Amino acid sequence: MARMKFLCDADRCIECNACVTACKNEHEVPWGINRRRVVTLNDGKPGERSVSMACMHCTDAPCAAVCPVNVFYTTADAVVLHSKDLCIGCGYCFYACPFGAPQYPKVGNFGSRGKMDKCTYCAGGPEADGSKAEYEKYGANRLAEGKLPLCAEMCSTKSLLAGDGEIIAQIYKERVVKRGYGSGAWGWKTAYKESIAS
């Protein structure tokens, strides 16, 4: 089985936000929730870079560790998924997540966050693959259809890569060698305790 990862090549990201839009449309993500977002560092200054970020599907995921009701599970592809039926909306996963991935439909005062929502790596949830119930809660299950996450698939500069960690790391390494620079695989050290030499 593959070990699925995301890799954002910040030297290619042009902050077009197409990944964000694609994600919202593909999964009919409600207003106010963003499973993916683009953050621009050093905005307007020399060395500006943009990074597209979502759930990184961490190895030994902190969200899963701190969840007081154990709603998280890891698939055979190492995708971190969760059950909205079991979520109590306590917000702990957001405090633990290094990437700000968990999202909640409501503001959260008096513990009224609602069920947590996050990037599923386009792999749905615990319901039957491709079922209506799965789509309503988690969005499309592209992985079950043999497709990769839409955000990466439609990235116009191929900045955002999704797929087996070793393969996308190899693609990135080749790019770095060819062009002679690279700001590294953002978040990999935090998420997977490894970095790609650049």
Q: Name the site residues for other proteins (rule: CB under 8 A).
A: 10-11, 17, 32, 34, 37-43, 45-51, 53, 62, 65-71, 83, 85-92, 94-100, 108-111, 113, 179-184, 186-187, 189-190
- In the complex, minimum distance from the CB of residue 66 to other proteins, in angstroms, rounded to a whole number: 5
**Alpha carbon of residue 54 to chain centroid:** 3
- Paired tokens of 43: 């905005």
**127 phi and psi, to 5 degrees?**
-65, 170
Output the smallest distance, CB 55 to other proteins, in A.
13
Q: Which two tokens stand for residue 165?
A: 């960690």
Instruction: Provide the minimum distance between the beta carbon of 145 and other proteins in the complex, in angstroms, as a whole number.
Output: 28
Q: 97 vs 162, which CB is nearer to other proteins?
A: 97
119 HSE (CA, 13 A, CB side): 29
Q: Which is nearer to other proteins, 37 or 173 (CB)?
A: 37
Q: Which is nearer to other proteins, 14 or 69 (CB)?
A: 69
Q: What backbone torsions phi and psi does residue 147 show, to the nearest 5 degrees?
A: -110, 155
Per-residue DSSP letter, 27: H
Q: Cβ of residue 119: shortest distance to other proteins, in angstroms?
A: 13
CA distances from 87 to 94, 132, 166 (A): 13, 20, 32
Q: Give me the least distance between CB of 50 and other proteins, in Å please.
A: 8
Measured distance CA(127)–CA(110) in Å, rounded: 29
Q: Which CB atom, from 92 or from 172, has the smaller least distance to other proteins?
A: 92
- How, if at all, do strands 72-74 and 80-82 pair? antiparallel
Among residues 34 and 143, whose Cβ is nearest to other proteins?
34
